[in-house]
């Protein structure tokens, strides 16, 4: 006779629908709106490489990329080869630039799936050229020059010698030259201007040697807004696509719409007598008769533990304060002053409810970080639902 401890035969299992009470809803009309806001700032000769790394900043790279391609985007940027492969596996066929570092042992897979690497070091170019030698056509690559980010890239004086080396006389074709700005969100443009001068000087050296690369790209979201002189032939927006300004305090904020809402449902409402406590370490002790709603979301979902006793969610259109420690899978909020909260009621962690709204920028302010980190942290347990 079968006992409860026996493994369940696979054939006895029903299909697996989603049961998550926590859902990230992705508003594709907001994405399209933000794309229009970006396009409005660009000259007709400037194209967009949409940055969809880190699972499209938590929004789901496949769903976002497919929507962007439908809106006419034909260049995407990811950080890793695996992110690029996931797009290819989902049938995304447009150009995908792998912007992060690629090491030689990763190159065969990258080429097999027609991903475009960024060369950040002359030694990688030489190794890559060896691997690409047998191909009928030169393999397209972008070259990254470090003009001041102090992170990844060739030094300005290394670019011309590398492009004149045998690697670029057959096996490889330099399709693009890029750099990344370290301080484009700063009101003081001095450092950005210095980076642009260094970039232009490299472009000038290449031109003087008879080399012109079709794609020059520098601008992230902040530079798209602040520095039209950084637009060149491509721009690389990330955070703006998802509805957030890259510049925390700005005189005339861009008209952007947050794309992601994060909601969950109340699973229990508990009565608390004065002196009773909530969650680990008793970090919240009731000073009055209270009602506490339990939410099935925690730091494993990217709802940061530092929100313990800090910040709020929206229930019935009202602010419900987070009380006690945020746990791995649960968070408790005070609903004493919100009438008739019941299990099943919606709680909004990011998004709008009634006349109130919580944005990823609000969470970032509570946590002393940036909206990027809030969005990227939202974990895989919350299904991304596109509408
Ligand atoms: C190389 C590169 N380009 C563009 C971006 C997009 O930046 P943002 O999200 O600020 O627009 C990033 C993101 O960090 C990046 O690493």
pLDDT tens digit string along 192-241? 999 999 999 999 999 999 999 999 999 999 999 999 999 999 999 999 99
372 is catalytic: no
Residue range 277-315, pLDDT digits in tens: 999 999 999 999 999 999 999 999 999 999 999 999 999
User: Are 277 and 284 a contacting pair, CB within 8 Å?
Assistant: yes
Q: Are residues 231 and 278 in the same domain?
A: no
Domain identity same for 137 and 281? no
In this structure, the answer to whether residues 58 and 193 fall within a common structural domain is yes
Same domain, 169 and 230: yes
CA atoms lying within 13 Å on the CB side of residue 285: 4
Q: Residue 10: inside a domain, yes or no? A: no
53 is catalytic: yes
> Rounded to the nearest 10 degrees, what angle do helices 156-163 and 190-208 cross at?
20
Residues 228-252 pLDDT 10s? 999 999 999 999 999 999 887 666 7
Res. 1: pLDDT tops 70: no
Centre of ligand 1 from the C-alpha of residue 52, in Å: 9
| Mean pLDDT value of segment 39-45 | 96
Q: Is residue 6 part of a domain?
A: no
Question: What is the spatial distance between Cα 261 and Cα 350, in angstroms, rounded to a whole number?
Answer: 5
Kindly state the average pLDDT of the residues 26-51: 97
CATH of the domain at 119: 3.20.20.10
Residues 219, 265, single domain; the answer is no
Residue nearest atom 5 in ligand 1 by C-alpha distance? 220
- Residue 242 placed within a domain: no
> Tell me, what's the pLDDT at 160?
98
Whether residues 216 and 88 fall in one domain: yes
Dist. CA 109 → ligand 1 center (Å): 24
220 Cα–ligand 1 center, Å: 5
Q: Domain check: are 230 and 303 in the same one?
A: no
Average pLDDT of every residue of the chain? 95
- Lining ligand 1 with CB less than 6 A are 51, 99, 180, 220-222, 236-240, 246
pLDDT-wise least confident of 8-12, 93-97, 330-334, 365-369: 8-12
Domain membership flag for residue 59: yes
Q: Kindly state the percentage of the chain with pLDDT values over 70.
A: 96
At residue 40, the pLDDT reads: 96
Domain range for 319 is: 260-386
Residue 144 has pLDDT above 70, yes or no: yes
Q: What is the C-alpha separation between 308 and 329, in angstroms, rounded?
A: 13
Measured torsion, CA atoms of residues 139, 145, 151, 155, in degrees rounded to the nearest 10 = 120
Same domain for 278 and 217, yes or no, is: no
Query: What distance in angstroms lies between residue 329's CA and the mean position of ligand 1's atoms?
Result: 31
CA distance linking residue 69 with residue 46, whole number of Å: 17
Q: What integer pLDDT is reported at residue 253 of this predicted model?
A: 76
In a domain, residue 316? The reply is yes
Q: Catalytic: which of 57, 169, 244, 280?
A: 280
pLDDT at 276 over 70: yes
Q: 222 φ, ψ to 5°?
A: -60, -40
Mean pLDDT of 124-144: 95
Is the Cα torsion angle 106, 112, 117, 123 positive or negative in sign?
A: positive
* Same domain flag for 165 and 37: yes
**Ligand 1, atom 9: nearest CA belongs to which residue?**
238
> Hey, which of 220, 240, 244 would you mutate to test ligand 1's pocket, going by the most ligand atoms within 8 Å of its Cβ?
220
Which DSSP string do the residues of 180-196 spell out, in sequence order? --SSTTSS--HHHHHHH
Taking the CA of residue 185 as reference, the ligand 1 atom at the shortest distance is 10
Angle in degrees, CA 96, 144, 160, rounded to 5 = 125
Say if residue 172 is in the same domain as residue 314.
no
CATH code: domain of residue 349: 2.40.37.10
Residue of the CA atom closest to atom 8 of ligand 1: 238
Q: Number of folded domains in the chain?
A: 2
Structural domain includes residue 304: yes
Output the CA 266–ligand 1 centroid distance in Å.
36
Give tens-digit pLDDT for 65-114: 999 999 999 999 999 999 999 999 999 999 999 999 999 899 999 999 99
Task: Say whether pLDDT at 2 is over 60.
Answer: no
Q: Which of 53, 144, 299, 303 is catalytic?
A: 53
């Amino acid at each position: 006779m079968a006992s409860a401890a026996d493994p369940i035969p696979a054939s006895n299992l029903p299909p697996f629908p989603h049961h998550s009470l926590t859902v990230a809803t992705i508003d594709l009309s907001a994405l399209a709106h933000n794309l229009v806001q970006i396009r409005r700032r660009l000259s007709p000769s400037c194209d967009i490489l949409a940055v969809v790394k880190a699972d499209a900043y938590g929004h789901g790279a496949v769903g976002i990329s497919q929507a962007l391609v439908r809106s006419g985007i034909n260049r995407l940027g990811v950080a890793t080869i695996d992110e690029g492969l996931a797009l290819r596996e989902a049938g995304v066929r447009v150009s995908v630039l792998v912007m992060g570092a690629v090491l030689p042992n990763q190159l065969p897979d990258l080429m097999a799936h027609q991903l475009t690497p960024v060369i950040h070091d002359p030694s990688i170019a030489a190794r890559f050229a060896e691997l690409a030698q047998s191909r009928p056509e030169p393999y397209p690559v972008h070259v990254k020059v470090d003009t001041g980010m102090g992170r990844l890239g060739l030094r300005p004086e290394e670019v011309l010698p590398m492009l004149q080396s045998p690697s670029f006389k057959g096996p490889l074709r330099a399709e693009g030259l890029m750099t990344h700005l370290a301080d484009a969100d700063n009101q003081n443009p001095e450092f950005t201007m210095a980076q642009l001068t260094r970039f232009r000087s490299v472009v000038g050296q290449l031109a003087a040697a008879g080399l012109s690369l079709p794609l020059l790209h520098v601008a992230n979201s902040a530079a798209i807004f602040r520095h039209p002189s950084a637009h060149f032939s491509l721009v690389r927006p990330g955070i703006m696509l998802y509805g957030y300004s890259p510049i925390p305090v700005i005189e005339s904020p861009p008209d952007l719409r947050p794309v992601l809402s994060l909601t969950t449902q109340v699973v229990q409402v508990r009565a608390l007598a004065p002196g009773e406590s909530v969650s680990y370490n008793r970090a919240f002790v009731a000073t009055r008769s209270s009602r506490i709603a339990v939410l099935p979301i925690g730091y494993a979902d990217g709802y940061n533990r530092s929100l313990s006793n800090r910040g709020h969610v929206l229930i019935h259109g009202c602010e419900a304060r987070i009380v006690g420690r945020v746990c791995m899978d649960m968070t408790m909020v005070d609903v004493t002053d919100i009438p008739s909260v019941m299990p099943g009621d919606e709680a909004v962690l990011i998004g709008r409810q009634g006349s109130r709204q919580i944005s990823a920028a609000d969470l970032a302010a509570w946590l002393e970080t940036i909206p990027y980190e809030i969005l990227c942290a939202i974990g895989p347990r919350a299904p991304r639902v596109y509408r």
